[in-house]
Amino acid sequence: MKRLLVVALLISAMSCKNENSNEGDVHFNQGNYEKAIESYTIYLNTEPRDIKTIYNRGRAYEELGKYALALQDFRRVIKEDPLNVNAHLSIASDYYYRLNDYENTIFYAEKVLKLDETNSTAFTLKGKAHQKLGNLQEALSAYNSAISVDKDYAEAYLSRGSLRIYGKQNSKACADFRMAKTLGVDKADELIKRYCR
């Protein structure tokens, strides 16, 4: 009888733990980031090494503009799972790029590419950082690599088009903007109207 009661309590506790993580996801998807953080934190009190929950809490912090706390969670994910591409990419894009720290953006984008050499987002981010640093040839190479691994990655076309405008290659830039528009980027329309006659 005691064993049955203990098993029932364990099952109940486990389902509550999962509820808090799932509840956090629901709050996150509804844009209730404070409540999501609260639910994720409750879950992490019982499952402190759950990578998905740590990462999701970091994303919630990020949505609230609490970048230092987000970075803490992303680094914690990497400590638990050094091969976690999402955490490295979040550090590159959502932390360092946002802070205009382009050298560290490139560093983390390259870490992602060592883990996943077909990550078009990392190539594009690396290209944007190189472009901001004035390394235009490296930027173009990174954008070309992004498109090479994912011909449907609109952001790479948009970024490469912007680089080509800067390099006074308007016809090539317009081809990139049109491709980005075809792939569903609304901002491409504005660039086409501005640069493509």
Mean pLDDT of the chain: 90
83-139 matches 11-80 in CATH topology: yes
- Judged against a pLDDT cut of 90, whether residue 17 lies above it is answered with no
Range 151-169 average pLDDT: 97
User: Could you give the C-alpha distances from 169 to 55, 154, 174, 176, 185, in angstroms and in order?
Assistant: 41, 19, 9, 11, 21
Residue 6 has pLDDT above 50, yes or no: no
Domain boundaries defined on the chain: 11-80, 83-139, 151-197
The answer regarding whether domain 11-80 maps to CATH 3.40.47.10 reads no
Question: pLDDT, tens digit, for every residue of 50-59?
Answer: 999 999 999 9
* 8 Å CB contact between 194 and 179: no
Percent of the chain clearing pLDDT 70 (strictly above) = 89
Q: Which long-range contacts (CB under 8 A, 24 or more apart) does 92-95 make?
A: 92/122, 92/125, 93/121, 93/125, 94/62, 94/67, 94/70, 95/67, 95/70, 95/71
Q: What is the mean pLDDT of residues 23-34?
A: 94
Q: Which CATH class is domain 83-139?
A: mainly alpha
**For 59-115, how does the pLDDT look when each residue is reduced to its tens digit (9 = 90+)?**
999 999 999 999 999 999 999 999 999 999 999 998 899 899 999 999 999 999 999
What is the rounded CA–CA span in Å between residue 126 and residue 143? 8
